Structure 1
Amino acid sequence: MEEAKFYKEIAEGPSSAGAYWIQTEDKVRLRVGAYHSLGDSKGTILLMLGRFGYVERYGRVAQSFADNGFSTVVVDWRSQGLSDRMADDPQAGHIHHFSDYQKDVSAMMQVVENLEMPKPYYLVGVSMGACIGLRSMLDGLPVASAAFISPMWGIKMSAVQRIAAWPLSWAAKATGQGHRYVPGESGEIYVLETPFEDNNLTHNAGMYDYWVEQAKSAPELQIGGPTMTWLFEALSECRNLSSAPSPNIACITFCGELDRLVDNDSIKARMAKWPNGEFSMIRNAKHDVLTEIPEIGGDVMSQIFAFFSKMEIQGQTHENV
């Protein structure tokens, strides 16, 4: 494990932050970031971000975590941030198999262990990261409880799009064309090409400007649209997860009423069968409810901290009985 490049100025996270290179079992080099809390620690949040995510993207969020006593570890998934890209086109959001992300999780946890990050561990999964995180929990990820933000347990599509997506993405992968972008997508950076007024992520202009400035300052951290193989693999994983039992680990889940990226019906179906699960639909919120303006999202962050604290107290009480 070696120190990696970290963009402290654009992250605006805790001062005790750093990043590290680590290699996965299939020889992919990943970058993992660590934000340390100050003072007494309540544990470490394993922050699993979505398809646009990279270590610095949620630096301000990591600062809020630190202010509330939590350290944070976050990974640049393969083909994202400064981690190795899986296609010749570095802008392509490409993978070979969705299960490869679990190799990234294993590498992330190796960094957690090497740095002796404080226990207990908590999962915060955002969009695609929530899909990866759910699979990790089913595979035994050692977390005390979890919070999911607009989890990608289904991809939002019209009926016609869904009917076409399966055979087209399968055929592209099967014929060696899976590295091509999904129709309508390209290598363009979303936040630089989409005016704030038209974005699908948040009503929070300050947060959107923060992401825009990051993209301008470090375009090498950004990626464009997903490839056909990514689409096929993501659809397959969502379908496989839909029939899997919910882990016996407490979780709280938030999604936005106006989300155009993930399928809220799939989220509701999952949470209806999750023991010790709490669900909140945020009215008028877009995809990234964690960064929504208070007038819409309320204080999702405080709700997550309260939930983690409640679960920790209940766990200690059960241990003492």
Structure 2
Amino acid sequence: MTEAILHATKGNPVPENHIAGYFTGHRKKKLRYAIFRSNQSIARGTIVLLHGRNECIEKYFETINDLTAKGFWVATFDTRGQGGSERLLKKLDAGYVRHFSDYQKDISLFLEQVVLPDARLPFFLLAHSTGGLAALSMAPALSNRIERMALSSPFISLRGQSIPTPVIRIIATCLTLIGLGGVQLGKDQRERQFDGNPLTSDPARFARNLSLITERPELFIGAPTARWLFEVLNTMPWVIRQEHLTKITVPTLLLAPVLDVISPYAAQEELSRNFRAAQLIPVTGARHELLLERDVYRSQALAAIDAFFAPEA
């Protein structure tokens, strides 16, 4: 049964010693999850791993193996509307969310229904991109549940698009307000070329991800909808307000690739200046998907995460 839930592809085997299944998210949505156990007899705790847009559990198999080898358990789930989780529209490849707070509610239910009863204390949080935005947005409420969190390229700014962000905001808002929030905006970039891609400079990991998309297309989605952009663009300025950041007491590590053009380094640096609970780790030369980058960059991120999540002496 487990083998049908998680999918191995060439060069990307399913990590051993795990359980997988589904839990009930907000508004009764069926969300796919997995818990990966460390082979070490005494676990250092559990890392709750949150994905970015259009990602899935399979994309993180290598990172999960690295974390469990260091003595951590890893608990993760596919964000609503993508991966192996229930879709939200009849058009199955549309990137959609009704309210950004739905992501927050799913995370809370995952912690309550799966992590707390089935995983090992203490609990840490590792989030990438849109997962990082969700973590930031609910961080004030995590102080009694999460010991520390590491955010890789949190999606706090949208830049580098062919259309200026203010124009994207206007278009997304207008379509949403007239009931056309399900309209997809932008290009379907599931099968982009390696040359000039903004995600990673590692050709092998890029090819592995492309193979996963080709072999398991049902796990991936296309362009975001107007409603998704409307919700995300309204959340971004809210989470970086000083008023919000001062409410966050969970010690936080900001992992910021300097060559990131999706969530630019300048925005991460600005966030760190206003975020007292956070410390910034720049990774010079790396692109957006830091945990899928070349070893020279990826190893820096993993070492920083390992040191930051180390139990207090």
Q: TM-score, normalised by structure 2?
A: 0.91
Deviation at 1:8, TM superposition (A): 4.4
The CA RMSD measured in Å over matched residues stands at 2.0
The residue that corresponds to 2:8 in the other structure is 9
| Distance change (3 Å), C-alpha of 1:4 and 1:106 | farther
Q: Which amino acid aligns with 1:288?
A: E
The residue that corresponds to 2:245 in the other structure is 245
Does the aligned pair in 1 maintain the 2:150–2:254 contact within 8 Å? yes
**Of 163-172 and 260-269, the range deviating more from structure 2:** 260-269
Q: Deviations over 1:263-303 (max 9, x none)?
A: 33332222112234221222221101122213345521011
The residue that corresponds to 2:259 in the other structure is 258
Aligned-pair identity in percent equals 24
Alignment partner of 1:170 is 2:173: yes
In structure 1, how many angstroms separate the alpha carbons of the residues matched to 2:53 and 2:237? 18
| Distance change (3 Å), C-alpha of 1:276 and 1:137 | closer
Q: Which amino acid aligns with 2:180?
A: Q
In structure 2, how many angstroms separate the alpha carbons of the residues matched to 1:81 and 1:159? 27
The residue that corresponds to 1:319 in the other structure is none
Count of aligned positions: 305
Deviation at 1:114, TM superposition (A): 3.5
The residue that corresponds to 2:34 in the other structure is 33
Does the aligned pair in 2 maintain the 1:153–1:266 contact within 8 Å? yes
Q: 2:198 aligns with which of 178, 197, 200?
A: 200
Deviation at 1:52, TM superposition (A): 1.6
Alignment partner of 1:220 is 2:218: yes
Deviation at 1:79, TM superposition (A): 0.6
The residue that corresponds to 2:45 in the other structure is 43
| Distance change (3 Å), C-alpha of 1:160 and 1:196 | closer
Does the aligned pair in 1 maintain the 2:142–2:250 contact within 8 Å? no
Q: Which amino acid aligns with 2:245?
A: P
Instruction: Give unmatched runs, 5+ long, in structure 1.
Output: 317-321
Does the aligned pair in 2 maintain the 1:3–1:21 contact within 8 Å? no
SS in 2 for 1:59: helix
In structure 2, how many angstroms separate the alpha carbons of the residues matched to 1:263 and 1:303? 20
Instruction: Give unmatched runs, 5+ long, in structure 2.
Output: none
In structure 2, how many angstroms separate the alpha carbons of the residues matched to 1:75 and 1:155? 25
In structure 1, how many angstroms separate the alpha carbons of the residues matched to 2:169 and 2:285? 30
| Distance change (3 Å), C-alpha of 1:283 and 1:107 | same
In structure 1, how many angstroms separate the alpha carbons of the residues matched to 2:14 and 2:240? 35
Q: TM-score, normalised by structure 1?
A: 0.89
Aligned structure 1 segments of 4 or more residues deviating by more than 6 angstroms: none
| Distance change (3 Å), C-alpha of 1:196 and 1:160 | closer
SS in 2 for 1:26: helix
**Of 56-65 and 193-202, the range deviating more from structure 2:** 193-202
In structure 2, how many angstroms separate the alpha carbons of the residues matched to 1:231 and 1:73? 27
